[in-house]
Amino acid sequence: MSLDKATVAKIAHLARIKTDDAQLDAMVADLNTILGFVEQLSEVNTDNVEPLASVTGHGLPLRADVVTDGAYPERVLANAPDRAHGYYAVPKVVE
Amino acid sequence: MSDLLSLSLTGARDALKAKKTSSAELTDAYIGAMEAGKSLNAFITETPDKARAMAKASDEKLAKGDGGAMEGLPIGIKDLFCTQGVLTTAASHILDGFKPEYESTVSQNLWNAGAVMLGKLNLDEFAMGSSNETSHYGAVENPWRRSGGDNAKLVPGGSSGGSAAAVSGRLAIAATGTDTGGSIRQPASLCGIVGIKPTYGRCSRWGVVAFASSLDQAGPLTRTVSDAALMLGAMAGHDPKDSTSADLAVPDFEAALTGDVRGMKIGIPKEYRVDGMPDEIDALWQKGAAMLKDAGAEIVDISLPHTKYALPTYYIIAPAEASSNLARYDGVRYGLRVDGDSLNEMYENTRAEGFGDEVKRRILIGTYVLSAGYYDAYYLKAQKVRALIQKDFNDAYQSVDAILTPTAPSAAFAIGENEDDPIKMYLNDVFTVPASLAGLPGISVPVGLSGEGLPLGLQVLGKAFDEETVLKVGGVLEQAAGFDALPGFLAGGK
Amino acid sequence: MTAEKSNLVTGNTGDWEIVLGLEVHAQVTSNSKLFSGAATTFGSEPNSQVSLVDSAMPGMLPVINEECVRQAVRTGLGLNAAINRFSVFDRKNYFYADLPQGYQISQFKQPIVGEGVITVDLPGGRSKSIGIERLHLEQDAGKSIHDQSPTKSFIDLNRSGVALMEIVSRPDMRSAEEAAAYVKKLRSILRYLGTCDGNMQEGSMRADVNVSVRKPGDELGTRCEIKNMNSIRFMQQAIEYEARRQIEIIEDGGTIDQETRLFDANKGETRSMRSKEEAHDYRYFPDPDLLPLIFSEEFVEAEKAKLPELPDAKKARFIADFGLSPYDAAILVEEQETAAFYEKVADGRDPKLAANWMITELFGNLNKAGKDLSDSPVDEEKLGGLIDLITDNTISGRIAKDVFAEMFESGKDAPTIVEEKGLRQVTDTGAIEELIDSVMASQAEKVAEYRSGKDKLFGFFVGQVMKQSQGKANPAMVNELLKKKLAG
């Protein structure tokens, strides 16, 4: 599989990274090199192999349903680039 | 001052206990060393005031005969660990000005044990890199230089490059690192120090800026194996805030350093003898095997048949997870925001300016391999091969106690040397990535010098949660190798 | 499935069938969030119920709330569904201002609950089975506020990370009415289980409705998804509008674009949602911060043993034991509190009479007054007391209505009102005969007409006697005695 410029542009948009034309060309080359490299996995026979998502081998630990956190809006908002009236502020969204 | 700076972590601990020095004195020496070593660019943020205050508190405890395992010992923290009220950058522009309102579990464990914070250490941006050249705060310089003529500045390895350079150049007595595919072990090897990546789940990931969640693991970079044992013991432990943290007691790692490997079986995996491996690396490997044999271990040839596929597997799984982990850097709640006319434009501008090229490459690859129509061919396939790689190790550990391999395929290279070819850079991790995929512990110990006078390390891998064997075998290698070469730059002088 | 004639919609080109499938998001009743220890209370100050995990600070990690898992299992059992003892949390990746992680933790390939079925109650006592495809646990997003500033949207993360159950139905519904019945029934089950408060106004329960139309017997048409319906009435309006819109487009030779739409309640229209125009590629993959959720068969069995009697079982029991009609039974079991109220009233009394009084008088008055059963001035005991007076002939059914109105107004009990107002029924033969005599005396002409064969005047005499008694005379006795007297 080889990526073309349009596909890379689509991926860049999915990832919300603005990419100009020259950058796209460079990315196409880099990404194809990397994809070419990982392509060798197709040689491996993985029939009947269960995918491994985590090496831990144990199940999900559960926590008790108790309120232990929150109630500190100042800490939550402390690093916000823009805030107003206790909210995060972002450019207006039209639904 | 050079006397103080030449103390190892355990040596300094003993000196403090014996009241031969104070934490204030030791810390001041390191604050001076940080100043002297500025040219290495190892620190992103120095916190001398905090260090002095912590040292003072430690001295009070030490005076009373109290104090934790790391009491009064000044260390550096890789700038991937969130530190409350102290700028935390992940070496990325996108975290501009970010001061966490919380402290990572691992760094908190260290402070609870009495350690003193010198500052935040440079790294590859979001820990993505093997040379520390992708940092927004500039490349870190390896304290070592090639012998004979060529005075090129060398990389310290990565991603924990600032940590390795600082410990090697004596700007910190020890440092934390994180290892996703080799980011502790490879820089340790390139800087001539010790670095251990414990078993996945041994150290909490809570408060560590995530790169690839199923692989990330914290560990120490230190001057000696016993230093590593001491510091790992302070960092590790079960954390209910991390669902992947192992609910296991932390052993006394220092006690594991018995120096006795008699009767132990050490595997030598034939697949690690990769094409184009420099002769001197191969020779070092054989030398290491001989040392262990001399110490009474049995050397066993083993096979890890899917080794070759570890790197390509890693370069699907790690970017896939990263593409998702890094989605939160969107200019809304912290860090950089580059305005735009719409929300989407703001996102795109912020992330275009905030992320460097390597991070972007990995986000895009990761986005692609997870996207509709490609998931099975790439991501699912990689997860299956990952299962086979883990099985290789499980099979091997039926017959051996530990595995010996080189840590990296080469000594430190020059800054800028491998920049143009991502694959060539990725190959730095060829020996470290397989154990990362299997979640297994591994240590790098300096064993010899390259022809150019640069340090080379060997890697000891162990079974899951058997860091004790890894440390024990590493300790024997360290003892036998008697590596005592020093880098060209050394704070406080030789 | 063959199309039911009554559900078809007539267009210019013939009849159309509406096909509906619902995705209901139900907020899990729990103290803290799905993956963080922040509170879930509704209506707090902005960003005051937000942890560092919910605001997706770097390095923060999710830890699952056991109660949310238990609630999902209980709900699955209540929906007669398969419980998956091994399930997986995935990340659904997309960017939005109120989605701080840049992904929602959800369940994609392996949800906690699999296929189930519920029976919904339709008018006329009919019922229909609606298939449940799956139920999974996921995080709610925060809230974007768009109308406070001309240039900015504001983000409140209080809801961010609250546990939701997404309950996905099969496309088994064929009318807005059926969809409404489905939501009502689902709400009823969840409230019985205590797994969701079902409060649609506060957004604890919202439905996304997939609407398509087809000619009966045809393949499924292209669907549009109407997002975030938080009122059953609006949902019905939206479905009817949307189906009509689709039919008109197709009949005009157009085709339906698969898209997400919003319902504008003011205009009564659906419109395309601009922010959702872009094709999504959610890139689901197992969340590496979490591990598979695994629990034992014993856990499931223990939860099953603890389930309350659910509406269907209760309805069946009311029909079998109390002889109620399916329609009445369905009304009485919709809310657990109503059913409990009814059982108290019916205890030791005529259950049908109890049902009639509750449904007609009590609910009627409550409705008019805009009150809930919980703040009804007439409680179980008082209503029972009134029914007792009817049963022992102390008052007639007619008088009982007046007594009830007075009870509802004053909160007094029935015997007190009957005594105070002297409403006790007259059952004394002599007294009734006196009344009859007096009426016959004043209506001699009518008596003559009756006796000459004008039978239908009998009702007139009954009315006159009852009027004279101010409604208190026992109607059966009046009938009997009047017949005798008129016969001469």
Q: What is the pLDDT of residues C281-337, one digit of tens each?
A: 999 999 999 999 999 999 999 999 999 999 999 999 999 999 999 999 999 999 999
Query: B2-263+407-481 falls under which CATH superfamily?
Result: Amidase signature (AS) domain (3.90.1300.10)
CATH of the domain at C476: 1.10.10.410
| Angle subtended at Cα B448 by Cα B444 and Cα B449, rounded to the nearest 5 degrees | 115
Contact C153 A71 (CB under 8 A): no
Helix (H) or strand (E) holding C437, with range, is helix C429-442
Cβ-Cβ contacts under 8 Å for B53 (sequence gap 6 or more): none
Q: How far is the alpha carbon of A63 from chain B, nearest alpha carbon, in Å? A: 8
Determine the average pLDDT of the residues in B410-424: 87
Q: Which residues from chain A sit within 8 angstroms of residue B355, using beta carbons?
A: 17
For the cut 60, the answer to whether the pLDDT of residue C2 exceeds it is no
**Diameter over CA atoms, chain B:** 70
Candidates C285, C291, C293, C294: best to mutate against B (most CBs of B within 10 A) is C285
The Cβ-side half-sphere exposure at A22, using a 13 Å CA radius, reads 0
Query: Pairing state of beta strands B194-197 and B442-449?
Result: antiparallel
Nearest Cβ partner for A95 among C32, C52, C262: C262
Residues C125-143, buried b or exposed e (16+ Cβ, 10 A)?
eeebebebbbbbbbbbbbb
Contact C61 B206 (CB under 8 A): yes
Hey, how many other C-beta atoms are within 10 angstroms of the C-beta on C302?
Answer: 12
Strand (E) positions, B129-201? 175-179, 194-197
Strand pairing partners for C38?
A69
Strand pairing partners for C225?
C210, C260
Q: Which residues from chain A sit within 8 angstroms of residue B381, using beta carbons?
A: 41-42, 44, 46
Q: What is the pLDDT of residues B158-190, one digit of tens each?
A: 999 999 999 999 999 999 999 999 999 999 999
Give the pLDDT of residue C350. 96
Task: Chain A: list its partners (3+ Cβ pairs within 8 Å).
Answer: B, C
Nearest Cβ partner for A76 among C50, C95, C274: C50
φ, ψ dihedrals at C381, nearest 5°:
-65, -45
For the cut 60, the answer to whether the pLDDT of residue C275 exceeds it is no
Q: How far is the alpha carbon of B330 from chain A, nearest alpha carbon, in Å? A: 9
Determine the average pLDDT of the residues in C90-108: 97
Q: Which residues from chain A sit within 8 angstroms of residue C46, using beta carbons?
A: 73, 85-87
Give the pLDDT of residue A1. 57
Contact B99 A49 (CB under 8 A): no
Indicate whether C53 and C173 sit together in one domain: yes
Is B248 touching A (CB cutoff 8 A)?
no
Q: Round to whole Å and give the CA distance between B63 and B56.
A: 11
Say which range, B147-151, B252-256, B326-330, C312-316, has the weakest mean pLDDT. Answer: B147-151
| ipTM > 0.95 for the complex | yes
Assigned token pair, C421 = 């107002």
Read out DSSP for C280-337? P----EE-TTS--EE--HHHHHHHHHTPPPPHHHHHHHHHHHH---HHHHHHHHSSHH
Task: Chain B: list its partners (3+ Cβ pairs within 8 Å).
Answer: A, C
Is A44 touching C (CB cutoff 8 A)?
no
Give the pLDDT of residue B384. 98
Give the pLDDT of residue C279. 63
Q: Which residues from chain C sit within 8 angstroms of residue A67, using beta carbons?
A: 31-32, 37-39
Determine the average pLDDT of the residues in B465-494: 96
Q: What is the pLDDT of residues B213-241, one digit of tens each?
A: 999 999 999 999 999 999 999 999 999 99
Contact A12 B368 (CB under 8 A): no
Helix (H, G, I), strand (E, B) or coil at C139: strand
Strand pairing partners for C103?
C93
Indicate whether C334 and C450 sit together in one domain: no
Nearest one of B87, A86, A60 to C293, comparing CA atoms: A60
Indicate whether C360 and C436 sit together in one domain: no
Q: Indicate the average pLDDT of chain B.
A: 97
Indicate whether C53 and C36 sit together in one domain: yes
Q: What is the pLDDT of residues C430-486, one digit of tens each?
A: 888 999 999 999 999 999 999 998 988 999 999 999 888 888 888 888 999 999 998
Q: Round to whole Å and give the CA distance between C326 and C333.
A: 10
Contact B313 A41 (CB under 8 A): yes
Q: How far is the alpha carbon of A48 from chain B, nearest alpha carbon, in Å? A: 9
Q: Exposed/middle/buried for B398, CB within 10 Å: 0-12, 13-18, 19+?
A: exposed
Contact A67 C283 (CB under 8 A): no
- Cβ contacts below 8 Å, chain A against chain C, sum to 143
Give the pLDDT of residue C1. 46
Query: Pairing state of beta strands A83-84 and A87-91?
Result: antiparallel
Indicate if the alpha-carbon torsion angle C251, C255, C261, C267 is positive or negative.
negative
Nearest-by-CA chain C residue for B323: C93
Contact A76 C275 (CB under 8 A): no
Q: Which residues from chain A sit within 8 angstroms of residue C97, using beta carbons?
A: 88, 90, 93
Give the pLDDT of residue B242. 98
Q: Which residues from chain A sit within 8 angstroms of residue C146, using beta carbons?
A: 92-95
Assigned token pair, B90 = 């992940």
Report yes or no: B332 and C97 within 8 Å, Cβ to Cβ.
yes
Task: Assess whether B78 carries a catalytic annotation.
Answer: yes
- Between the CA atoms of C330, C334, C335 and C337, what dihedral angle is there, to the nearest 10 degrees? 10
Report yes or no: C162 and C71 within 8 Å, Cβ to Cβ.
no
Q: Which of B8, B78, B92, B160 is catalytic?
A: B78
Q: How many independent structural domains does chain C possess?
A: 3
Nearest-by-CA chain C residue for A70: C51
Candidates C33, C153, C262: best to mutate against A (most CBs of A within 10 A) is C153
Nearest one of B459, B484, B408 to B158, comparing CA atoms: B408
Q: Round to whole Å and give the CA distance between C386 and C241.
A: 46
Contact A92 C152 (CB under 8 A): yes
Task: Assess whether B159 carries a catalytic annotation.
Answer: yes
Read out DSSP for C195-264? S----TTTTSEEEEEEEEEE-TTSPP---EEEEEE--HHHHHHHHHHHHHHHHHHHHTT--PPP-EEEEE
CA C432 to chain centre: 49
Give the pLDDT of residue B2. 59
Determine the average pLDDT of the residues in B269-284: 94
Task: Chain C: list its partners (3+ Cβ pairs within 8 Å).
Answer: A, B
**Could you list the residue range(s) of the whole structural domain that residue C399 is in?**
310-421
**Diameter over CA atoms, chain A:** 58
Confidence of residue C274 (pLDDT cuts 50, 70, 90): low
The domain boundary residue, chosen from C260, C283, C303: C303
Nearest Cβ partner for A54 among C38, C47, C288: C288
Confidence of residue B80 (pLDDT cuts 50, 70, 90): very high
Q: What ranges do the domains of chain A cover?
A: 5-39
Contact A70 C262 (CB under 8 A): no
Q: Which of B22, B23, B104, B159 is catalytic?
A: B159
- CA-derived radius of gyration, chain A: 22
Nearest Cβ partner for B348 among A16, A51, A63: A16
Report yes or no: B490 and B145 within 8 Å, Cβ to Cβ.
no
Q: Indicate the average pLDDT of chain C.
A: 94
Indicate whether C327 and C365 sit together in one domain: yes
Q: What is the pLDDT of residues C345-364, one digit of tens each?
A: 999 999 999 999 999 999 99
Nearest Cβ partner for B337 among A16, A76, A81: A81
Amino acid at C172: D
Nearest-by-CA chain A residue for B331: A81
Q: Which residues from chain C sit within 8 angstroms of residue B370, using beta carbons?
A: 93, 283-285
Nearest Cβ partner for C66 among A59, A65, A88: A65
Q: What is the pLDDT of residues C373-413, one digit of tens each?
A: 999 999 999 999 999 999 998 898 888 999 999 999 999 99
Q: Which residues from chain A sit within 8 angstroms of residue B360, using beta carbons?
A: 17, 27
Contact B352 A19 (CB under 8 A): yes
Report yes or no: C386 and C400 within 8 Å, Cβ to Cβ.
yes
Confidence of residue B423 (pLDDT cuts 50, 70, 90): confident
Instruction: Provide the chain C residues 34-93 that lie in CB contact (below 8 A) with chain A.
Output: 36-39, 45-55, 63-69, 88-89
Nearest one of B446, B430, B435 to B483, comparing CA atoms: B446
Indicate whether C133 and C202 sit together in one domain: yes
Q: Of residues C1 and C26, which shows the higher confidence score?
A: C26
Nearest one of B323, B332, A86, B347 to C55, comparing CA atoms: B332
Confidence of residue B445 (pLDDT cuts 50, 70, 90): very high
Q: Round to whole Å and give the CA distance between B332 and A81.
A: 7
